[in-house]
Chains A and B, each alone.
Chain A
Amino acid sequence: MSWDYVSGILILSGINLMTVLGLSLLTGFTGLFSFGHAGFMAIGAYMASSMTMKYGIPFFIALLIGGVSAMLVSLVIGKLTLNLKGDYFCIATLGFGEATRLILDNVQYFGGARGLSSIPTQGTTTLFNVIIINIVAVFVLVSIIRSRHGRNMVAIREEELAAQTIGIDVFKYKMMALAISALYAGISGGLLAHYLGYIQPIMFKMVKSTELTIIVIFGGLGSVSGSVIGTILLTFLPEILRSFYNWRLVIYGAAVILIMITRPQGLMGGKEFSIKSIIKSAKKFINFVRQRIGNKKEEVKS
């Protein structure tokens, strides 16, 4: 395996991670399931690449414009659908994702079904840039989660009615979570466009949205580190399996199902990965081994 190949997969992981982080806030912390985030990625991708290609705007500003336009669209969608109860929001996002793809398929300004090509890739989506953006994204996300705003979102996930009776404006916080997740997805779409050098509406199908939501659930709802680990694992897995081409998706599906059965709460199960928890589990393990050894010694003695 050459370094170019590995760094390519790392960049793809980073791009996926951007959207997954946003989705983690929406699904894992606020409790809203979305099957249309590929739509926000598409908006970000098309906006950012037309900014760099047609108007020669610098890469980072173009990314931001892509992200903000996805966010603005999400505000409109949220205004219309977030008052819907339960699964209806999920269905509405599914519709939004597909509608976005079909609109892009038919708008000639954005190249229709052939999409946009020859997007500048030199010095834009490099591994370094992706890592920096992801670090900032994780930092922002964790800061929000560990403030009163994040706690209010978790309260909505846990018990919406009780959240209202302690004075939380449920609608506002759902909007906030949706807007932030759309911003992340938009930036991620911009990164993807500038990594591949071309984009087509077909890349942002429902399968993409579903894959992203699967990653969040796989990593564990309500865990940022779970999302990070889940993204890297599930981006690398299909690549490692490339040699058994025909069986690739079967194994991928089986791995996801296996995790769902053995750990229904996801890989991290709502817990965060930190140095403290590593030390704690290491201590537990050492104690466990000691007890085992002790028991065996006693057995030998008796």
Chain B
Amino acid sequence: MNVLSLNNVTKRFGGLTAVDNVSFHIEQGEIFGLIGPNGAGKTTIFNLITAIYSITEGEIYFNDKKLQRKKPYEIANMGVTRTFQNIRLFKKLTAYENVLTACHKSADYNIFSSIMRIGKFKLQERYLKNKTDGLLKLMGLWDYKDIVASNLPYGLQRKLEIARALALDPKLLLLDEPAAGMNPEETIQLMELIKEIRNKFDLTVLIIEHHMDLIMGVCDRIFVLNFGIPLALGTPKEIQENKKVIEAYLGKEEKTYAED
């Protein structure tokens, strides 16, 4: 079954076509990579899926439900959540508070029971706290729970963003360069972690990444984009051997130099 389908999606900013006629389908449980040189329109696709931008042409379906004309929070409530390329944590809050805030959908007590402190309030607050504890432990952030988010090292901030996204119990997780700023060792750990959370939460994952080790190691299928135009779709092995992709990343061979 397709979890996410993009049908001929186009996005124009005035005269600039950022995403041009892109179509792909992501299956349940897949880890799907989205790669391309800088400015290829990868993040724009994320912003289109999460309704931060509106689509110029085409359709996006999530579990056969159309995502157009929805607000970003409605899409989050349907089970699509994301992380950001330029980290957007709640900077002045601690790691614990960041995740606890995001757990809010697991409780439904109203404002009056929060004033009176009766009914569901205590039970649900305890549940939220347990859930937060679990997520922080899973992501290896338990030792840093009382540290203010902006003071955390870069790699941990990225992990915290993933933990915050998982707090929503998403069905589809969009990761925008999760390994940026990590060393090779941390990248490998992250790769394992992504696989682990996929299995544990029964997730479908869509990743944008520039670390080819991570992309090739973790993805089931990869979609390549160049200047907003779809270039190739296939397994990591197929993509590595694809001439068009090599050309986009490394440029064409210049034969004229050989004559000198």
Q: CB of B71 within 8 A of chain A?
A: yes
Q: Which residues of B contact A148 (CB under 8 A)?
A: 101, 104, 107, 109, 114, 125, 128
| CA distance in complex: A143, B114 (Å) | 6
Q: CB of A193 within 8 A of chain B?
A: no
Q: CB of B135 within 8 A of chain A?
A: no
> Could you list some 12 contacts between A and B, CB below 8 A?
A143-B115, A143-B116, A148-B104, A151-B101, A159-B90, A159-B91, A161-B52, A165-B72, A166-B101, A166-B164, A167-B105, A170-B73
B165 touches A149 (CB 8 A): no
Q: CB of B167 within 8 A of chain A?
A: yes
Q: Which residues of B contact A143 (CB under 8 A)?
A: 114-117
Q: Which residues of A contact B165 (CB under 8 A)?
A: 165-166
Known: A168-B73, A176-B111. A147 touches B121 (CB 8 A): yes
| Number of A residues, CB within 8 Å of B | 25
**Which of B12-20, B21-29, B76-84, B139-147 faces chain A?**
B76-84
Known: A164-B71, A167-B77, A167-B168. A155 touches B105 (CB 8 A): no
| CA distance in complex: A169, B70 (Å) | 12
A162 touches B76 (CB 8 A): no
Contact of A164 among B72, B101, B104, B128 (CB under 8 A): B72
Q: CB of B92 within 8 A of chain A?
A: yes
Distance in angstroms from A191 CB to nearest chain B CB is 21
Q: Which residues of B contact A162 (CB under 8 A)?
A: 84, 88-90
Distance in angstroms from B44 CB to nearest chain A CB is 15
Contact of A161 among B77, B88, B100, B164 (CB under 8 A): B88
Known: A147-B114, A148-B109. A166 touches B100 (CB 8 A): no
Q: Which residues of A contact B164 (CB under 8 A)?
A: 166
A165 touches B104 (CB 8 A): no
Distance in angstroms from B163 CB to nearest chain A CB is 11
| CA distance in complex: A150, B109 (Å) | 13
Q: Which residues of B contact A150 (CB under 8 A)?
A: 114
Q: Which residues of A contact B105 (CB under 8 A)?
A: 167
Q: Which residues of A contact B92 (CB under 8 A)?
A: 158, 270
A168 touches B114 (CB 8 A): no
| CA distance in complex: A176, B105 (Å) | 18
In this complex, what residue of B is CB-closest to A164? B72
Q: Which residues of A contact B84 (CB under 8 A)?
A: 161-162
Q: CB of A1 within 8 A of chain B?
A: no
A140 touches B115 (CB 8 A): yes
Q: CB of B102 within 8 A of chain A?
A: yes
Which of A166, A170, A270 counts the most B-chain CB atoms under 10 A from its CB?
A166
| CA distance in complex: A155, B167 (Å) | 14
Known: A149-B114, A165-B82, A166-B164. A158 touches B76 (CB 8 A): no
| CA distance in complex: A166, B72 (Å) | 9
Contact of A147 among B73, B91, B97, B109 (CB under 8 A): B109
Per-residue contact bits, chain B 106-144, to A (CB 8 Å; 1 contact, 0 not): 010101001111000100010010000000000000000
- A residues adjacent to B (C-beta < 8 A): 140, 143-144, 146-152, 154-155, 158-159, 161-162, 164-170, 176, 270
Q: CB of B5 within 8 A of chain A?
A: no
| Number of B residues, CB within 8 Å of A | 36
| CA distance in complex: A169, B116 (Å) | 23
Q: CB of B50 within 8 A of chain A?
A: yes
Q: Which residues of A contact B168 (CB under 8 A)?
A: 166-167
Distance in angstroms from A279 CB to nearest chain B CB is 18
Q: CB of B233 within 8 A of chain A?
A: no
| CA distance in complex: A159, B101 (Å) | 12
Distance in angstroms from A156 CB to nearest chain B CB is 10
| CA distance in complex: A176, B112 (Å) | 12
B114 touches A144 (CB 8 A): yes
Q: Which residues of A contact B116 (CB under 8 A)?
A: 143
| CA distance in complex: A168, B167 (Å) | 13
| CA distance in complex: A296, B201 (Å) | 60
Q: Which residues of A contact B229 (CB under 8 A)?
A: none
A166 touches B102 (CB 8 A): yes
B111 touches A154 (CB 8 A): no
B88 touches A164 (CB 8 A): no
In this complex, what residue of B is CB-closest to A146? B114
Q: Which residues of A contact B111 (CB under 8 A)?
A: 144, 147, 149, 176
B101 touches A154 (CB 8 A): yes
Distance in angstroms from A166 CB to nearest chain B CB is 4
| CA distance in complex: A161, B51 (Å) | 11
Distance in angstroms from A39 CB to nearest chain B CB is 24
Q: Which residues of B contact A165 (CB under 8 A)?
A: 50, 72-73, 76, 81-82, 165
In this complex, what residue of B is CB-closest to A176? B111
Q: CB of B93 within 8 A of chain A?
A: yes
